[in-house]
Amino acid sequence: MCVQARAWACGQGGGGGDGLGAIDDAELVAALVGSAGRGRSAALRLAEHLLDRAGGLEGIGRIGPAALCELGGVSPARALRLAACAEMGRRLRERAAQPLPSLAMPAQVAAFLGARIGALDHEQMWVLSLDGRSRLRGMRCVARGGQHGCAVGAREILRAALADAASGFVLGHNHPSGEVTPSPEDVAMTRKVARAAEVVGCPLLDHIIVTAAGQYASLLELGLL
């Protein structure tokens, strides 16, 4: 079985002993640097060479793609792939160590969103997926538009929330115009999404509008949801 096929077969079991955790460091690196034209033994030899020259996985994670190429035997594209995987692992560790933000109140959601999209010169619509304790599970941009709106359907919104296994979700978008009052279109869309969310058992908890000036409007607090 080729290195890539072995890694894929191991991956079907998920993490731990039955998944990719069951293969050693050399096979893991070989799965990234191997190719259809390179046999399993050649890919493993290259992986062992890289691990030896770099000082193990930790070394591969520290040096950039240019330095990986200088170790010999790996193309710039595959060196970049290795470096990107190392960076992904670093970011995952960093984010896993951070506590999940609590977004139990409209003001908390507004502060969180405002820092990210409040000052944009175009509208963005975000879905904030929450767990049962109102902690953020995931956030996804589901639409981008111009200064005066962005179009998105209930299906796209619900797909984002369900993909995060949310217990409930909050919609949020910005008004580049600086007018924080929900438009009739905002209200109509929110109510449509709320009805659809009830059907699938993943409730829409609120819809927050933010502006560059730090103002916000909660459709729940306004009695519009």
Query: Do 171 and 140 meet the contact criterion of CB atoms below 8 Å apart?
Result: no
- pLDDT of 145 > 50? The answer is yes
**pLDDT above 90: percentage of residues in the chain:** 49
Residue 172 has pLDDT above 70, yes or no: yes
Please compute the mean of the pLDDT values over residues 8-29 and round it to a whole number.
63
Beta-strand pair 168-174/136-144: unpaired
The answer on pLDDT for 147 being more than 80 is no
The predicted model gives 145-162 an average pLDDT of: 80
- Amino acid 39: pLDDT: 66
What is the domain partition of the chain in residue ranges?
3-96, 106-218
pLDDT at 4: 47
Query: How far lies 125's CA from each of 44, 106, 120, 180, 203, in Å?
Result: 46, 16, 12, 15, 17
Across the range 182-196, mean pLDDT stands at 95
State pLDDT tens for residues 117-130.
999 999 999 999 99
- More confident position, 18 or 195: 195
13-35 average pLDDT score: 71
95 burial via Cβ count (<10 Å: 0-12, 13-18, 19+): exposed
pLDDT for residue 170: 97
Each residue's pLDDT tens digit, 53-111: 888 888 888 888 888 888 888 888 888 888 888 888 888 887 777 777 889 999 999 99
Q: Residue 109: what pLDDT? A: 96
Q: H or E stretch including 126?
A: strand 124-130
Burial 34-65 (b: 16+ CB within 10 A, else e): beeebebeebbebbbbbbebbeebebbeebeb
Name the least confident of 7-16, 95-104, 184-193, 203-212: 7-16
Instruction: Report the CATH number of the 106-218 domain.
Output: 3.40.140.10
Q: 167 pLDDT exceeds 80?
A: yes
Q: Which pLDDT belongs to residue 3?
A: 46
pLDDT in tens, 33-42: 876 455 678 8
As a whole number, mean pLDDT of residues 154-168 equals 94
- So what's the pLDDT on residue 19? 64
User: How does residue 27 score in pLDDT terms, banded at 50, 70 and 90?
Assistant: confident
